[in-house]
Amino acid sequence: MSNSNAITKLILLWAFSESALGGMLHVLRIPLTGLFVGGSAVIFISLIAHYSNNKTSILKATLLVLIIKFIVSPYTPLPAYFSVFAEGLLGLFLFNILNLKKTAPIILGFFALLFSSFQKIFVYTVLFGMTFWESIDAFMDFVLKQLSITSELNISFSYIIISIYISTHILGGILAGIVANRIPVWVDSFTHRIDYSKIIPTNEIEKKSRRRKKKFWYQKASGIIFILIALVLIALSYTTTAFDSNLPIKILVMFIRSIVITAIWFVLIAPHAMKLLQKILKKKKSDYTNEVENIVNLLPEMRAAVKYSWKESDKKKGLSRIKLFLSYIFVITLKEG
């Protein structure tokens, strides 16, 4: 198959990952969805760089993914678009400007997932202030005292949580980079195991338009958990001497602050920023009409490939089946003739 067809399929898979994978993981209650979505982006960007001889392929693919993401889920939060664009620019810099090739996927994974983890921490800090982390420390100190566990060390539990969170993302990014480096070899050694004649695209395309209601931060699980923690901390601060006497006021201020910042974001900043982004993407959509149509036309073929891959991988169970399933998907995407 031509490289251009492989690149188109990789863009389709990347767009699916950005538009639907996160939602699927949320439905399955799998934590750290950003880790999986970001790791997938690292793999797709690396493969696009590997299979394309055009130095502008990564930038073009990034724009197409943003356009498809906008078409499929136009209500996606603004930071999600920014993350995709930042990953694409970093990939362009590492693969095409620095021309690192072998080490680029690992460096891309490191910085892309590092940025992803810091982005979430930054949002929480801006939204709730440093009191959020102070509250975690106070709450953990209270829990330890209730369990009669005392320590002479002045441990900051919030820093431990942040360190674990960032380290998990960094390790995940490095692993994604290592996997991205291995996939081309993996594809070459696996391709003989696939009977391409059994992969028959279906013409029955389900057209289901599911409009999800937009959830505000306080309707999401993380928002509900934060509110519950805030209420518990306020209650505990009045019933125990374990907390500083000023902490109730700090928590109340943090709570009001988060509401004000969220209101400013949703009412003043986000709508104007989204209008500007929509205007840009609509213009780019007209510029890349043929490319977008080619990607959309590949949906039946890719659906057939997914169906075939899942059926063929049923000989394995659990993680082994997922690995085998992904092996089939990547080989069909990159080697089908």
- What pLDDT does residue 205 have? 37
What is the value of pTM for the model shown? Answer: 0.72
Share of the chain above pLDDT 90, in %: 20
Provide the pLDDT for residue 176: 95
Distance, CA of 231 to CA of 116 (rounded, Å): 29
pLDDT of residue 47: 94
Of the candidates 79, 26, 74, the residue with the CA atom closest to the CA atom of residue 219: 26
φ and ψ at 296, to 5 degrees? Answer: -65, -40
pLDDT grade, residue 31 (50/70/90)?
low
Residue 56 neighbours by CB under 8 Å, 6+ apart: 96
What is the arithmetic mean of pLDDT over 246-251? 63
In terms of average pLDDT, the best of 4-8, 202-206, 208-212 is 4-8
Q: What's the whole-number average pLDDT of the chain?
A: 76
What average pLDDT score do residues 316-331 get? 84
pLDDT at 95 over 90: yes
Mean pLDDT of 210-236: 57
Does the structure show a pLDDT above 80 at 74? Answer: no
Q: Looking at mean pLDDT, say which of 8-17, 18-27, 242-251, 320-329 comes out highest.
A: 8-17
CB 60 within 8 A of CB 100: no
